[in-house]
């Protein structure tokens, strides 16, 4: 992802987001804001290796838009999770349904075992037992994680 993301390239050249731009309130961010307005809790956990890479610094710099749209975002250094089990794949649990995403080592989406839409590799798992396992693991990790506004990049 970091090799193909034009915004990351701009960021590395010194560009910083203008928080007043409409794009930080549209698309995904607008969807989250509408979801949160309905009373849904949207939580994002970022598990990171320290010292962090430039790409993680970039993600951290842009996370203001997630937070301002209503997402609760926390960061968890891997060393703080040494005694916890973590799911092997990124995923979202939505109304008990698990949506798994497949990424390569560079953060690019790769073909998994199914697709939600063209170009987005994911698997939908409606097995409640698996969804509960992911939710329980997430909750344990979330308890240890540091809120975005308190996390200091190392």
For 48-63, how does the pLDDT look when each residue is reduced to its tens digit (9 = 90+)? 999 999 999 999 999 9
Q: What percent of the chain has pLDDT over 70?
A: 92
- Helices and strands (H and E) in the chain: how many: 4, 7
- Torsion sign across C-alpha atoms 100, 102, 105, 107: negative
Q: Give how many domains the chain has, as a whole number.
A: 1
Q: The pTM is what? A: 0.88
Per the CB < 8 A criterion, the answer to whether 99 and 116 are in contact is yes
Cα three-residue angle 70-73-43, rounded to 5 degrees: 70
Residue 35's pLDDT band (boundaries 50, 70, 90)?
A: very high
Per the CB < 8 A criterion, the answer to whether 98 and 130 are in contact is yes
Structure tokens at 128: 């409640």
Helices (H), the chain: 6-12, 28-37, 54-69, 128-144
Q: What is the pLDDT of residues 76-91, one digit of tens each?
A: 999 999 999 999 888 9
Residue 1 lies in a domain: no
Domain with 60 in it: what CATH number? 3.30.870
Q: What is the 3-state secondary structure (H, E, C) of 21-39?
A: CHHHHCCHHHHHHHHHHCC
Indicate whether 117 pLDDT > 90: no
Full residue range of the structural domain in which residue 115 is found: 6-150
Higher pLDDT: 150 or 105? It is: 150
Residue 120 lies in a domain: yes
Task: Say how many CA atoms lie within 13 Å of 71 toward its Cβ.
Answer: 20
């Amino acid at each position: 992802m970091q090799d193909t993301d034009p915004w990351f390239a701009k960021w590395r050249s010194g560009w910083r987001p203008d928080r007043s731009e409409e794009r930080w309130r549209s698309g995904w961010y607008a969807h989250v804001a509408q979801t949160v307005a309905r009373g849904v809790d949207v939580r994002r956990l970022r598990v990171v290796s320290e010292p962090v890479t430039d790409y993680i610094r970039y993600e951290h710099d842009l996370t203001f838009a997630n937070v301002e749209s209503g997402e609760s975002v926390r960061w968890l250094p891997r060393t703080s999770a040494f005694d916890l089990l973590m799911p092997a794949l990124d995923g979202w649990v939505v109304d008990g349904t698990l949506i798994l995403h497949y990424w390569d080592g560079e953060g690019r989406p790769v073909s998994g075992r199914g697709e939600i839409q063209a170009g987005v590799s994911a698997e939908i798992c409606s097995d409640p037992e698996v969804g509960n396992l992911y939710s329980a693991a997430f909750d344990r990790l979330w308890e240890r994680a540091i809120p975005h506004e308190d996390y200091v990049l190392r």
